[in-house]
Amino acid sequence: MAEGQPPLLRWPWIAAAAGFVALLTAGLVWFLLGWTDSPDPEKVKAKLDAVRTAFSIGIGAGGVFALWLAARRQRTTELQVRETARIAAETKAHAERVAGVTERDLEERRVTELYTKAVEQLGSDKAPVRLGGLYALERLGQANPSHRQTIMNVFCAYLRMPFTMSDDHAKTETAARRALREREPSPRSWGLRPPAERAEVVVEDELQVRMTAQQLIENHLHADSPVFWADTRLDLQRATLVNFTLQDCTLRAGQFSYAKFVGATHIARTKFEISAWFYGCEFTALADFTGSDFADGGVFSWTHFGWLANFSWSRSRGLGFIGAVFDGELRFADTDHPRINFERARLPELPDFGGQLVNLDGAQVPEEPAELPADNHIASRDGKIVFGYTGEPARYGTPSP
């Protein structure tokens, strides 16, 4: 018996109730007739009234019983309707859940098929097919936020594939070569002479594919853009990046260790929310990090800067340049870094660090500076000047190759 439902009313119970009413009526008639047993006309009339009264009571009792049966029947009907509606609702909800699961399965299957096909396109030997694969992955990521990091990983993996720029691959100037040349900043705008050799140009089609992959990465890292992909991590270790740009971007973390940056590199006004690793990288031309925010610090140790390295207006919890080599000018104007470590680094000259705590222990510079702000050095126990906190004195003179 379901909860809330009355007990079942069986037919023997109904017959017993009807018999009880009949017996009650007959008993009343017998009692009233016996009570008025007399030949007197008045008493005869009283007998008739008694019979009438007895039948009225019987009929009334029967009517009450009939009303009770009707009420019970109505209650049972309502409960049946309610139970039917409940079962129908549960059946509908179950059907909707099944349909939802089926729809999600179909959607996941469709996404997987599109993803697999797009990745297969990246392995084609035809550049247009590879470009189509990149754009297909981008559309897939834009429509499916849960797959965005995976798709960004594919972009990064493509850029990590071997990519050699040699004289054998160089061509006469084409549209791609002109685009490369025009994207580099004018040396005169920086007040510097250009590097001795320009960035080498590879086969045009592969260069276009790689430049497209780089552009797609940047497009989805602008926090004020409607196509922003939040909490993105980039893994471009050992990648070869040509005229790489990551300006006004926000990303969770960036891993660029041992990457080679060919041509001008612009990572200006970019925020790294956790970490930024540029360990052992090579910058062949401009390395522009102006205004960037390394929230949890940045690592540039054992990195080679082939031209201007500009960190002006940047900020962080600390930057490390241990063993880094600077062939061009280093700029640190108006920065905010609690600690900067240039231990064993090679610098053409010492920039103005603006009174920040700098470690230049064992650093090599061509000439000893005439003056140093007091905030930038302390005296060691033997009286020799060391820079930053403690360690061996900075070495002056022409750095050994």
pLDDT in tens, 143-163: 899 899 999 999 999 999 988
Is residue 76, in this structure, part of any structural domain at all?
yes
For residue 112, give every residue at least 6 positions away whose Cβ sits within 8 Å of its Cβ, in sequence order, or none: none
Tell me the two tokens of residue 45: 């009339």
Same domain, 321 and 216: yes
- Average pLDDT score over residue span 333-347: 88
For the segment 170-203, what is each residue's pLDDT rounded down to a tens digit? 333 344 445 544 555 554 454 454 544 333 433 5
Is residue 379, in this structure, part of any structural domain at all?
no
- Average pLDDT score over residue span 18-42: 61
Is residue 155, in this structure, part of any structural domain at all?
yes
Same domain, 173 and 152: yes
Same domain, 139 and 278: yes
Same domain, 143 and 240: yes
Q: Which long-range contacts (CB under 8 A, 24 or more apart) does 305-311 make?
A: 305/330, 306/195, 306/282, 307/192, 307/195, 307/283, 308/190, 308/192, 309/283, 310/286, 311/335
Same domain, 285 and 149: yes
Domain of 70 in residue numbering reads as 11-119
The pTM for the full model equals: 0.65
Is residue 282, in this structure, part of any structural domain at all?
yes
Choice among 173-187, 309-323, 362-376 with the minimum mean pLDDT: 173-187
By CB atoms closer than 10 A (0-12, 13-18, 19+), residue 243 is buried
- Closest Cα partner for 306 from 288, 332, 282, 331? 282
Same domain, 153 and 270: yes
C-alpha distances (whole Å) from 37 to each of 40, 41, 43, 50 are 9, 11, 7, 11
17 in Cβ contact with 10 (< 8 Å): no
Tell me the two tokens of residue 272: 């790294």
